[in-house]
């Protein structure tokens, strides 16, 4: 695994746990973790349970006892690492967004298609697909429970940078993160919107905005103490979007609205998706991740209503491997499911989903949003 911070910790928990809960054809062995800082990487290896560690990620690719490379770094390094790993014949699980540019993503997708011919697999980490409630939602749509989907309403609302004194971390720098709310959280809802409906976005019309132009340098704000009003705090330019809003049209005739923002005060991780179809609707909010609201429009109006389904039954996706009904799962379980699916696919020679091509398609949507924003919000083909 390359990278050991927030995403790394979540992935490590998944690698440790998946075979303890699911019946897998192969058992993951946590060989080595790579990071930039020797001390931090060593500590992470010990904490997270990796047998070894290194500060040179390339050495990982040379090891015969490494079969899978899990890329958990910022987006600017995904292309280089994934291409090298695939080139070395390693299966690759790469965090989203697939890359910081469409060009990189195209290269990666091409490499993945090529590698696949040699039985080397790859997947991009749109882990929210593994939320039981959303996997159940997809089944509902697929079996026609919603009829023709008319509306997609996809929001991802957070509030962690509302305070202008919050420092200029790497996620706020375009050269590292590629984009801001758009790529970090907007990418998730774009993927989900397409995956849940089974439709692809063909056009988007949108707008990116920034509410706070400069922020204290991260180094200058250790401990995140309040620095507002102090003249001597060194600041830097925020180079990504704080919020992205856009409309979309799909190849299935649905009309979609998207909103990704880090300025929705009070919303901590409100990834919300609502689909309205000719025969029914569904609504989800990650802040209540074990629930799915489902409306069956074929029931007489007198008895109809949104049904709050607790997606914790034995026959719900993933849920059966865990606890009894009503005993909910948490955020990290989506990663456990991702590892379980990936290991099973790789071991059985099945193409994992989402593929790098799926990641590329999302990247193209994000790119079209940026182009639309530059062009005055006009409809822009993906």
Is the bond leading into 97 cis (omega within 30 degrees of zero)?
A: yes
How far apart are CB 51 and its own copies at their closest, in Å?
Answer: 14
∠ Cα 127 133 136 (to 5°): 100
State how far the Cα of 97 lies from the Cα of 43, in Å rounded to an integer: 27
Task: Name the CA dihedral angle for 157, 155, 179, 177, rounded to a multiple of 10 degrees.
Answer: 60
Considering beta carbons, is residue 17 or 235 the nearer one to its own copies?
17
State how far the Cα of 370 lies from the Cα of 217, in Å rounded to an integer: 26
Considering beta carbons, is residue 91 or 153 the nearer one to its own copies?
153
How far apart are CB 3 and its own copies at their closest, in Å?
Answer: 16
How far apart are CB 167 and its own copies at their closest, in Å?
Answer: 15
How far apart are CB 379 and its own copies at their closest, in Å?
Answer: 5
How far apart are CB 310 and its own copies at their closest, in Å?
Answer: 5
How far apart are CB 116 and its own copies at their closest, in Å?
Answer: 32
Considering beta carbons, is residue 59 or 148 the nearer one to its own copies?
148
Considering beta carbons, is residue 64 or 315 the nearer one to its own copies?
315
3-state secondary structure of 36: coil
Considering beta carbons, is residue 86 or 152 the nearer one to its own copies?
152
Which residues lie closer than 8 Å to 375 by C-beta, 6 or more apart?
none
State how far the Cα of 259 lies from the Cα of 257, in Å rounded to an integer: 7
Considering beta carbons, is residue 120 or 205 the nearer one to its own copies?
205
∠ Cα 312 318 322 (to 5°): 65
73, 89, 115, 336 from 17: Cα distances, Å? 21, 25, 28, 7
Considering beta carbons, is residue 84 or 321 the nearer one to its own copies?
321
State how far the Cα of 257 lies from the Cα of 249, in Å rounded to an integer: 9
How far apart are CB 257 and its own copies at their closest, in Å?
Answer: 5
How far apart are CB 79 and its own copies at their closest, in Å?
Answer: 26
Sheet arrangement for strand 68-71: 68-71, 91-95, 122-125
Considering beta carbons, is residue 59 or 378 the nearer one to its own copies?
378
Considering beta carbons, is residue 272 or 364 the nearer one to its own copies?
272
Q: What is the helix (H) or strand (E) element at residue 372, kind and residue range? A: helix 356-374
The separation between CA 5 and the C-alpha centre of its own chain, rounded to angstroms, equals: 16
How far apart are CB 196 and its own copies at their closest, in Å?
Answer: 15
Quote the tokens at residue 103.
């060009």
State how far the Cα of 118 lies from the Cα of 113, in Å rounded to an integer: 9
Place of tokens 């209540």: 288
State how far the Cα of 133 lies from the Cα of 288, in Å rounded to an integer: 10
Contact 92, 86 (CB under 8 A): yes
Quote the tokens at residue 124.
């991009």
Considering beta carbons, is residue 6 or 232 the nearer one to its own copies?
6
How far apart are CB 283 and its own copies at their closest, in Å?
Answer: 9
State how far the Cα of 259 lies from the Cα of 155, in Å rounded to an integer: 5
State how far the Cα of 105 lies from the Cα of 363, in Å rounded to an integer: 7
């Amino acid at each position: 695994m390359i990278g050991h911070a927030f995403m790394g910790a979540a992935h490590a928990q998944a690698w440790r746990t998946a075979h303890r809960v699911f019946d897998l054809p192969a058992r993951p062995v946590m060989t080595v973790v790579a990071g930039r800082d020797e001390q931090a990487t060593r500590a992470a290896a010990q904490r997270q349970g990796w047998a070894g560690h290194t500060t040179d990620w390339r050495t990982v690719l040379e090891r015969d006892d490494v079969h899978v490379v899990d890329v958990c770094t910022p987006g600017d390094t995904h292309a280089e690492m994934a291409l090298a790993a695939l080139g070395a014949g390693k299966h690759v699980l790469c965090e989203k967004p697939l890359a910081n540019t469409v060009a990189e993503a195209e290269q990666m997708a091409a490499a993945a298609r090529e590698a696949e011919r040699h039985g080397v697999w790859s997947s991009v980490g749109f882990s929210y697909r593994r939320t039981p409630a959303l996997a159940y939602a997809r089944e509902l749509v697929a079996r026609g429970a919603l009829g023709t989907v008319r509306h997609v309403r996809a929001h991802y609302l957070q509030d962690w940078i509302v305070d202008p004194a919050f420092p200029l971390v790497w996620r706020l720098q375009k050269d590292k993160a590629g984009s801001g709310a758009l790529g970090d959280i907007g990418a998730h809802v774009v993927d989900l919107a397409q995956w849940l409906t089974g439709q692809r976005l063909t056009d988007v019309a949108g707008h990116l905005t920034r509410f706070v132009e400069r922020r204290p340098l991260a180094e200058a704000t250790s401990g995140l103490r309040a620095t507002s009003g102090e003249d001597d705090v060194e600041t830097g330019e925020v180079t990504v979007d704080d919020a992205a809003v856009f409309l979309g049209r799909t190849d299935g005739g649905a009309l979609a609205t998207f909103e990704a923002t880090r300025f929705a005060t009070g919303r901590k991780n409100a990834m919300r998706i609502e689909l309205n179809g000719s025969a029914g609707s569904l609504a989800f909010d990650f802040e209540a991740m074990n629930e799915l609201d489902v409306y069956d429009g074929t029931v007489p109006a007198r008895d109809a209503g949104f049904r709050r389904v607790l997606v914790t039954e034995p026959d719900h996706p993933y849920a059966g491997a865990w606890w009894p009904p009503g005993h909910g799962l948490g955020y990290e379980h989506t990663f456990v499911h991702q590892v379980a699916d990936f290991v099973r696919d790789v071991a059985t020679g099945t193409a994992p989903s989402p593929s790098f091509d799926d990641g590329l398609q999302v990247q193209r949507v994000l790119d079209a949003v940026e182009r639309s924003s530059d062009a005055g919000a006009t409809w822009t083909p993906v």
